[in-house]
Structure 1
Amino acid sequence: MNMPELKLGIVAVSRDCFPMSLSEGRRKAVVEEFSKKNVIYECPVVVESEVDMKKALADLKEASCNALVVYLGNFGPETPETLLAKYFDGPVMIVAAAEETGDNLIQGRGDAYCGMLNASYNLKLRNIKAYIPEYPVGDAKDVAEMMEEFIPIARAIIGLNNLKIISFGPRPQDFLACNAPIKQLYNLGVEIEENSELDLFEAFNKHAKDKRIPEVVKSMEEELGAGNKKPEILHKLAQYELTLLDWVEGHKGSREYVAIAGKCWPAFQTQFGFVPCYVNSRLTAMGIPVSCEVDIYGALSEFIGTVVSEDTVTLLDINNTVPKDMYESEIKGSYNYKLNDTFMGFHCGNTAAGKLSFCSMKYQLIMARNLPEEVTQGTLEGDIVPGDITFFRLQSTADAKLRGYIAHGEVLPVATRSFGGIGIFAIPEMARFYRHVLVEGNYPHHGAVAFGHFGKALYEVFKYVGVEVEEIGFNQPKSMLYKTENPFN
């Protein structure tokens, strides 16, 4: 649920001094190749003029397409093809045809390699956004592969343009790191609804006798199994889950998709009588990301990761170092990482059960240090599943400028010996990335985690929504100095 359904369309364009049949035939070949794995709508209109452009847009609208491939089957007409991208209501990819054979370079030469330069120039002149692949020219099979890479990017753009983030309460005291300048949310096309914790508490109390509670309790029992260490709290957790789900349905308004930035302390525990971590994890697994500590840009990042990966994500603190003795005994020699390539990612218990190697739902140790244990129940704890991950975040920082970072790494299959939802993470050159991207870029301690390597798509999404390329940080190899890195280090 809470996921855009993509309907991709393709339109071929043709310069009037080239055979239209060249673009049309090449388009059919691309569609045939792409259709082996995916579904696409083939627009029958080949665009030579602005009149054709209007006909193509009308045809795409009637077919309910929400993402578009503009295909230069030959050189292409600069104005109509860029106006297609301007007036189409959704993300657009522009790609061009390569010549197929040396035996047909008279009537079969389309010069789209040249036409792509003019297309990109005209897009810039008109301030039009479009996705252009790394090498945007190819034969039918090449172009079909580029279009496959466009799919998660397009889903993310559609999702952001129809997203509302619902927040509850101000961020906790001394959590200025979760500051969220709203202007950039609007620039991204995202709506924001900010509510009081008291509003949420009132709605929660109204669900006290909700007839659906037993059904949700049963679902929780089945999911937790032997990890259900606090069965007495399930009724309240179910009540809270229904409160959030009903709030989403009642408040999404004109938007199709929702993410939540929730409050979880300091007064939440004493008033609600539990912590919301496990419920947050369940909604996130449903496709409705819920961030902790009213982290609005954390929720935004989680949503992007959910849509790109089509999988459950999580939000973690970039939390603590791996002790040297633990590294020496369990990591060194077994995995090709230095000590300072590793760290522990942690949160109290918001990672979904499906992303934990084992889990138990119990009380939260950090909160229980200052509060009665009985009001800190509801956290989901366990070691995070090993495997490839992408650590990333899109953020409007203190100066209200849109920035982001992306790093590929993995969760190691090494027991953490600790508490919370936690894992031992390894990112190549993490120490330098930590210092010259995370610290230097003034990023907060929360990072979103997608389970797999999705950096290529995320990078293109960040560019598409307006992040300048120099503002997208990544874990650079040792041979590549950061701008702020001391070359004599």
Structure 2
Amino acid sequence: MKNRNKQLRVGLVPTRREAFANETTTKQKKAIVDRFRRLAAELDFEMVDIEDINEEGMLMTYRDVEAAYDKLTAAKVDALIFPHCNFGQEEAVGRLAKDMNLPVLIWGPRDGYPNGLEWRPTDSQCGMFATTKLLMHYGVTFSYIENCELESDILREELADFLAAANVVKAFRALRIARISSRPKEFLSVMVNEAELLEKYDIEIVPGEPTVILDRVDRILAEDRDRMEELLKSLTDAGLDISALGENRYPLAAIELALLDFAEDNDCNALSCECWNLFRKKYGVSPCFILGDLNDRGLPAACENDVHAAITSVMAVAAARYKTPSFVADLTIRHPENDNAELLWHCGSFAKALKKEGAKGCVIREGKGFYELEGGPVTVLRFDGNHGEYYMFAGEAKGVDGPVTNGNYLWIETDNWVKWEKKFIFGPYIHHVVGIHGSYSGIIQEACRYLGIRIDLPDMPNQY
């Protein structure tokens, strides 16, 4: 079964060369384990050690691999860290990393000052050169933190990035997307190849047939008044004015609850939804705001049945370690005064938690959110494919001031908008992107190495 637990669990696998047994190595291993226990608390991950696989709690021989594999597999770890306490045992590291098929981090503490003519006790850096070459032979993708001091900020900062990248890999490998109804007729740009997504990436698409979904909505309208009132209260408690909805507020709440229930009942961790006709024609309300609110509640959701946007959203929030929701936007118009700025907009489907501080927010009668988003650093992403090749565009921008408009919106400024624009014109992308507040392009780039997705940064030459 796919692992959808959002808590990241990491196996710490200290390694040493069997022939390099000495007091310095033993002390170093204990210090490393202590440091990573502290980092686990600071960076919010669960650490699984190998203390009980042998007397030293280290990977030292090929024979140790089986015991380490059994323990780490039983613990369902999501990534592996191999601290080299001295030269390390590349034979065992390579075999375990290959068998586990997880994100791998190689690191070793900076070696101490040589003691004259005595033999150096560790040579950790030297061993990592050997280990990484073997990992390449095994076809194991790995990450690396420079050979730095145990208490260095470099270790903490780059470990945080590795954990975020591992989180993206975990979330991507667990993808199971609820696809509600079909795409709008004219939207050929959001066509996807379900079989190819399953074959290449094990991404499962669960169809939500219109009759099934509408039946759920009708039952909630008839039977679940308390749940609807509770959901509506959460909107007003968040400072949104929903008075314009009138009696449409109950269909809006019922649709949102039906989508949440369908995703939960079918073990889905994301959702894409037809938003033009299905609900509007029967209930008089569009699911635009609803989809934003689903993102707010931890279920990445994309409008216009854009499955690739839903995939991108899952990767975005995983890169942020689930600290902020993402939003699906159109690349819409250039800023009328700033040549490097662009409007990220949609007709009311951005999470309410992202509303600009001090800005008024409302939901209009048709079920669309109207409010500007908070500015600051923003990462813009798009997973998409063409003729069997899949790419991830990743660029970073910042929120800037711009003209007021309708729906949900955020003006962003890039370093060179024309360069971005041509990427989207010539690349396998459409006008839909996923935005997330923060700087995550490096994390997404690292995750794509593990997932076999071609990263596409604004400064890179076109690959298509």
- TM bracket (short chain): 0.7 to 0.9
Counterpart in the other structure of 2:342: 343
Counterpart in the other structure of 1:189: 202
One-letter code aligned to 1:220: L
Provide closer, same or farther for how the CA distance between residues 440 and 27 of structure 1 changes in structure 2, counting only shifts above 3 A.
Answer: farther
Is 2:368 aligned against 1:361?
Answer: no
- How many Å apart are 1:226 and its aligned residue? 3.5
One-letter code aligned to 2:393: Y
The structure 2 residue matched to 1:475, chosen from 443, 446, 458, is 458
1:153-176 deviations in whole A, cap 9, x for unaligned? 122222222221111122212322
SS class of match (1:17):
helix
One-letter code aligned to 1:111: D
The 2-side partners of 1:225 and 1:460 are apart by 38
SS class of match (1:184):
helix
Is 2:426 aligned against 1:440?
Answer: yes
1:95-123 deviations in whole A, cap 9, x for unaligned? 23321324478444433333323322322
Is 2:409 aligned against 1:422?
Answer: yes
Identity across the alignment (%) = 20
SS class of match (2:182):
coil
- How many Å apart are 1:148 and its aligned residue? 2.4
One-letter code aligned to 1:68: L
User: 1:3, 1:307 within 8 Å by CA — same for their partners in 2?
Assistant: no
SS class of match (2:286):
coil
The 2-side partners of 1:31 and 1:231 are apart by 59
1:363-417 deviations in whole A, cap 9, x for unaligned? 4xxxxxxxxxx6xx1001111111110001222x1212111111111111x2432
The structure 1 residue matched to 2:229, chosen from 186, 210, 214, is 214
Counterpart in the other structure of 1:50: 62
SS class of match (1:438):
helix
Counterpart in the other structure of 1:82: 94
Provide closer, same or farther for how the CA distance between residues 3 and 264 of structure 1 changes in structure 2, counting only shifts above 3 A.
Answer: farther
Q: Spell out the pairing of 1:318-329 with structure 2 (5 A cutoff).
A: 318-323=331-336, 327=337
Counterpart in the other structure of 1:393: 382
The 1-side partners of 2:22 and 2:184 are apart by 62
TM value normalised by structure 1:
0.84
Provide closer, same or farther for how the CA distance between residues 215 and 277 of structure 1 changes in structure 2, counting only shifts above 3 A.
Answer: same
TM value normalised by structure 2:
0.88
User: 2:114, 2:120 within 8 Å by CA — same for their partners in 1?
Assistant: no
Counterpart in the other structure of 1:11: 13
Provide closer, same or farther for how the CA distance between residues 108 and 179 of structure 1 changes in structure 2, counting only shifts above 3 A.
Answer: farther
The 1-side partners of 2:25 and 2:369 are apart by 56
Counterpart in the other structure of 2:399: 411
The 1-side partners of 2:23 and 2:250 are apart by 66
SS class of match (2:20):
coil
Provide closer, same or farther for how the CA distance between residues 302 and 359 of structure 1 changes in structure 2, counting only shifts above 3 A.
Answer: farther
The 2-side partners of 1:222 and 1:192 are apart by 34
Note the residue ranges of structure 1 that are not aligned, 5 or more in a row.
328-338, 364-373, 485-489
Note the residue ranges of structure 2 that are not aligned, 5 or more in a row.
42-46, 52-56
The structure 2 residue matched to 1:451, chosen from 411, 414, 437, is 437
Provide closer, same or farther for how the CA distance between residues 280 and 457 of structure 1 changes in structure 2, counting only shifts above 3 A.
Answer: same
Provide closer, same or farther for how the CA distance between residues 107 and 190 of structure 1 changes in structure 2, counting only shifts above 3 A.
Answer: farther
SS class of match (1:378):
coil
User: 2:355, 2:361 within 8 Å by CA — same for their partners in 1?
Assistant: no
The 2-side partners of 1:21 and 1:8 are apart by 27
Provide closer, same or farther for how the CA distance between residues 162 and 267 of structure 1 changes in structure 2, counting only shifts above 3 A.
Answer: closer
Q: Spell out the pairing of 1:69-468 with structure 2 (5 A cutoff).
A: 69-88=81-100, 90-103=102-115, 106-130=118-142, 132-133=143-144, 135-141=145-151, 142-182=154-194, 183-211=196-224, 212-226=227-241, 228-252=243-267, 258-309=269-320, 310=322, 311-323=324-336, 327=337, 339-357=338-356, 358-363=359-364, 377-395=366-384, 397-412=385-400, 414-435=401-422, 437-467=423-453
User: 1:3, 1:287 within 8 Å by CA — same for their partners in 2?
Assistant: no
Cα RMSD over matched residues? 2.5
Counterpart in the other structure of 1:366: none
